[in-house]
Chains A and B, each alone.
Chain A
Amino acid sequence: MDLDQNKKDILKEVANIGAGNAATAFSGMIGQEINMTVPKVELIDIQDLPSITGDEEEYIACIMINFSGEISGKILLVVDMENVERMLKLIFSTDELPEKSMQHSALNELGNILSGAYLKAINDFTDLDLDQSVPAMAYDMAGAVLSSSVIDYSQTEDFILLLETEFIAGEEKLELFYFFIPEKDSLNFLFKKLVGGNFA
């Protein structure tokens, strides 16, 4: 697949707009200021996917949301386990965490809100209509989780298109990885709409 600079710039802008809105929503949820990195747009070899957040044997939590409509794909939120606990304490404004099912619900809600904000900004910018699914979650080794998340895209593809933004929250510098992974074929529609070009 050809990803020229022009298309890369468009995707970067899309990621920037989406992530900006998601950062605002995240900030509201945990009551901390959020810094975000400049979004990266990369085509990565599927073999390298297990280590995109670092050590493939690190214990992480991952919230996955599918989106569909005029473009389709997945959103992954990835946080290492130590940061998950600190983040939950901020969400619940307490040092003592509630029972597991409440924690689980809170993380699902975090996924819903962040992906909702991201997609809403893209919808407004591109005039696309995108819907999101209910979140699914996994807590385990990064490699096992990340490889399984996009396995349905790897049937005929050896490369995955990744729009990555990192959020860093508050004085504690909590890190959250935000991955927007559009199905490449569905992007034609987006490019046509934004520049009238083809994306093949």
Chain B
Amino acid sequence: MPSPDQVAEKLVVKMADHAVGDENTVLATLGLGSCIGIALYDKFSKVGGLVHIMLPENPGGKKIVKYADTGIPFLIKELENIGAQKRRLSAKIVGGAGMFKSESGDSVMKIGERNIEAVKATLKNIGIKIIGSDVGKDYGRSMYFYLDDGRVEVKSFSRDLKTI
């Protein structure tokens, strides 16, 4: 496996943003809490894209990549524009944690869980299979999506590096 510094281009995707690239690209998104990073990959044309969504449903907001239900279809269109075919896309999803706890240890916001459900439902409706995921629980994650082979590395403070 090539190490990150041998790869030509690394793009960092901010919250409520997206990026696409070819096999010479690494797409990274840092500090996913309740947000979810969705990595879509076409292994034949070796192009892929990453969208960092914050919320499940778009109530009519202009920033469409902020929401699962509008961000994922938008990313697919962008991928088709650079040579991907929708029927060949597969997905890996990371994030959706519950970060804040009360003193008794209960999670105080359920948005992470709702994001996971919405991402799964949106992908299912479109017909894209989830082939890897590291979601839920109570810790933050950074993800690195290598477009040479579609692997995704997940880093966190509380767990070992995980490749999905």
- Report the minimum CB–CB distance from A100 to chain B (whole Å): 12
- Report the minimum CB–CB distance from B127 to chain A (whole Å): 28
Interface residues of B in 5-42 (CB under 8 A from A): 14-17, 30-35
B103 within 8 A of A: yes
Interface of B is mostly: loop
Chain A residues, CB < 8 A from B59: 155-156
Tally of contact residues, A, Cβ under 8 A: 34
* Interchain CA distance A137-B102 in the complex, whole Å: 6
- Report the minimum CB–CB distance from B126 to chain A (whole Å): 23
* Interchain CA distance A50-B34 in the complex, whole Å: 12
* Interchain CA distance A94-B104 in the complex, whole Å: 26
A191 within 8 A of B: no
Tally of contact residues, B, Cβ under 8 A: 35
Interface residues of A in 42-68 (CB under 8 A from B): 46-50, 56-57, 59, 62, 64
9 cross-chain CB contacts under 8 A: A47-B14, A56-B31, A59-B157, A143-B30, A148-B111, A151-B55, A151-B111, A155-B59, A158-B63
Excluding A141-B30, A144-B141, 15 further A-B contacts by CB distance (< 8 Å) are A46-B15, A46-B54, A56-B30, A57-B142, A64-B100, A135-B103, A136-B108, A137-B101, A138-B101, A143-B15, A146-B31, A147-B31, A148-B33, A152-B111, A156-B60
- Chain A interface (Cβ within 8 Å of chain B)? 46-50, 56-57, 59, 62, 64, 104-105, 108, 134-138, 140-149, 151-152, 154-156, 158
